[in-house]
Each structure stands twice: as C-alpha cells, then as structure tokens.
Chain A
C-alpha cells in the first residue's frame, strides 16, 4: 500500500500505528482495511482495535514481550492487504428538527454566518457525511464532510448542558450529542433517534466508514419519532453504500 506508517509502543500492552496527519477519505479507507485485517488476525486473542482520523490503536489484554516482533507481524499483515478490495459500508438517514426550540444557538449562528436559517438547513442536509470514528462520548460520531461555508469556531467557553440529540457544528465538524453533556459546539437542531444503547451488545449500529445524511423534520415528526422509539416502533433505516 502507498502509505508510510509509523509503529510505536503506546504502553506495555498497546501499539499505536500512525498515518500522515490529515483528514482524508483515502487514509480512512486504508485504516479501516488494515483494522479489519488486524481484527481477523487476532480473532483468537482478546484485543481491542480502535481507529481515529490517522491512527490505529491496538490494545491487548496482556503485556507485550517483544514489540519488534509484533511490529514485524503487523507490517507483514499491512503489506499483504489487497488494494482493490472494498469494505462494506452503509448510508444512514438521520432525521433532524431545526426548530428554534431545539437549536438554541441557531439564531446567533445565522447572524454570525450572515446566512438565513433555510440556507443553513439546506447546506447542512445536502452533504453526505463520512463517519471517521467514535469517541468523546459513548456513541459520538466524528463526521467529515461539512460544507466549509458552515465552518464556525467553537464557543470560547462550553455550554454546561447540551441536550441529548443536539445536532451541532464546531469548526469544520458537525455531530450529534448521544447524551446530555457539556459541549462547545453551536447547537442548530435536534435528532430524536437513539444513537447509543448500552443494553445492546452492539451498542451503536453506525460504524466507522459508514455515511450519514441529515434530513429535516417538523416538530410534530420529532414528537412522533420519540413516541415510536419509546414503543419500539421506530427503526433507523440504512441502505448499503459502496465506499
């Protein structure tokens, strides 16, 4: 493969693999292919493999005796990756209500950006976002693909209580808060969907490499979906998407 990777010890039981520092779909594809191959290589062992924009971290549940041996194994694994092979990914449609009552920062955002509310909504719902990884909070998706027109630096001091489901913009990123939390992003709407459920063994169905599209719903739709979720009648729909 074309990337020059750096292998290093992170602690006595974990290895960090780093790509060049840039948010790039080609890097993500490479990371996810390697991640899949690492997971299947270690299927008999207890390991966790997590990725971010430009890293893979492998956490073993034992102390590594010889890091150089393990680096060699991983390097061989990487060089044997198939360049053509694609990985399965899904496209998820996420409903968002952009009503002022759900987007406490929408008016201020609209003033600062000199964009009308409908321009902001059009812009936010038009793009296809890529899920790079999960982090920050259980079920929080790091998304790439925000229209640069929507870029706005984070708040100087974070809000203490951003509501669960809040859809927000911070710098070149956008995301959905899976739970109540402090946060420094500008909240422009709210999604009623449940992104994370600790009672299920697969607590989050949306995974790195998947795509997201936001679509606008009314306040009434928002209430209805909440009721459907409470009575287990709502199902988040995904369609296969060839990455």
Chain B
C-alpha cells in the first residue's frame, strides 16, 4: 500500500490509456509524456502499460507500506527518499515505511513514478487512467491508499542500462505534419506556422495547450470531425490549440497541424511561457 500524505499540485494515476472507447466519446487519456512513463516502467522490468503516478509541477509525499522497487523519469522535481536526494532514471529499493517526497521543480513539468508491478488501482473501461466522470476521482487525494504488489528488492535485477533521451526535456522543436485542413491555409499563414516562435499560454492542462501569439485566421470552422491528441486546431479568433491526451474525440475547428508522438511528449514537459517552434516534416 502507498499512503498519500500530501497530494502535490496535480497528481494522477495514468497508464497507456483507454483504448477502444472513443466511439462512445470517451477520451483516450494516459500519460501525457508517454516516453518518460514507459521509460520508468521499462527500467523496472514492468510492462509498458503498467499504471504509474503522473506528478505535475509539485510533488506529493508518499509513505510506502511494503518493500518494492521504484523508478522516476521525466521532469526533475528533486525527489528525496527519507530526506536524502535520489536521482531520476534509476531503480531504487524501497523498504517498509520509506517516505518519498519532492523538494521542487527544476526542469520539465511532469515526472512519472513507476512501482514494480504497477499500481493496482481500479480499472474503468479497460484503463486505470484517471479522468473526471469516468474514474471516481480525477486526482489522488490526501489520506488515500493505493495498492501495489509487495516485491522484495532482490527479486529481479534491473534493466537500468536503457539510456534516457534527455533531449526530450530540452528541445524547443516540435515535429509536425500537415493536418487535414492545412492546405486551406493561405501561404502567408503557412509560412508563419513554420517560422514563428510560439509561447505556451497559461491555458495549458491535460486536455489542451493554447499557444501565443494569436494568428490572423481567415478559414471557416468545419463540420464536427475526429481529432486526436497532438491535433493543432485554429479557432475563429486565431488561437492555436494543441489537443492533449484528455482531449475530446471530435471537434469543429480546422485541424491545421498534427504533432508526432515524440512532439506530444516534448510539449507535455513545457510550462507557461516556454517557447517552441514547429518543424514541418512533410
């Protein structure tokens, strides 16, 4: 059992998401930065679909009630075990009563805490990913206990020789492809999209990231059509919106660009005010 003593700014349980329910209007959800989430699972020898904690901006305080092993990947939130600094991207042995805390965000935005065998929280529509109205709660809460399998530290040796791709946290370049309505854009706007520097606005969360500045927009809205995480929409008043993992399944704004999976992971680690560029690859 993992006891939540402090919940942190926004901590959720995530796995690879709710595949197979989008036809019912259910978002896919899942870890915002799938690479770091998979990485933390991989070095523990976990299946990549195992449920992890997605920790955003400021960390929780967690008490472990059983021995296990953990790994943290993604943003650097200065993790500490019983008050002593520990590092990301390493397998760490946990004993009964160990306390994990985080001293502050230094780099990136979201880190992933994987536990040997994965968190055993409740499954809703094939996934443990938290999403308001599907799961009971949309974040973890103080006092909550989250179940995991006891796993003696010496049981299996680790896979920690996998190298973490640190470029994901530092690059400003988002590789994108044309979205379905890209070709309707005037050439001037196409040029702007590939040359301008954009800034993450304060409106950024698991559903969408809005960018600044506004673009001059002349193209019309469309009949409600499918969208995916990574779809960049252009609203009538010129807002560029990158849809994220908890986005709706359909939308009526022109879909001008589509981020690659890696770009989606990169933007997930960006905070308000951080700068990005689009690089068109087709």
Contact = CB atoms under 8 A, between A and B. Distances in A.
Tell whether A pairs with B: yes
Interface of A: 8-12, 14, 16, 18, 21-23, 46, 48-55, 57, 59, 61, 133-140, 142, 179, 196, 198-199, 201, 203-204, 208
Interface residues of B, number: 29
Contacts, number: 100
A198 B137 CA distance: 13
B153 interface: no
A54 B223 contact: yes
Contacts of B134: 138, 198
Interface string B215-251: 0000000111110101000000000000000001110
Given A138-B133, A198-B125, A52 B24 contact: no
Interface of B: 19-27, 124-125, 133-134, 177, 180, 222-226, 228, 230, 248-250, 258-261
Contact of B230 (A11, A23, A53, A136): A11
Nearest to B250: A135
A203 B180 contact: no
A117 to B, nearest CB: 29
A8 B178 CA distance: 11
A179 B224 contact: no
B24 A204 contact: yes
Nearest to A207: B23
Contacts of B228: 10-11, 14, 57, 59
Nearest to B135: A198
Dominant secondary structure at the B interface: loop
A136 B248 contact: yes
Contacts of A204: 24-25
Contacts of A46: 19-20
A50 B23 contact: yes
21 contacts: A10-B180, A11-B261, A14-B228, A48-B19, A48-B20, A50-B249, A52-B225, A57-B226, A134-B23, A134-B25, A135-B248, A138-B24, A138-B25, A138-B27, A139-B25, A142-B224, A179-B133, A196-B24, A198-B26, A198-B125, A201-B125
A-B residue pairs, 3 tightest by C-beta: A135-B250, A57-B226, A134-B25
B177 A9 contact: yes
Interface centre among B19, B125, B223, B260 (most CB of A within 10 A): B223
Given A135-B249, A179-B133, A198-B133, A52 B223 contact: yes
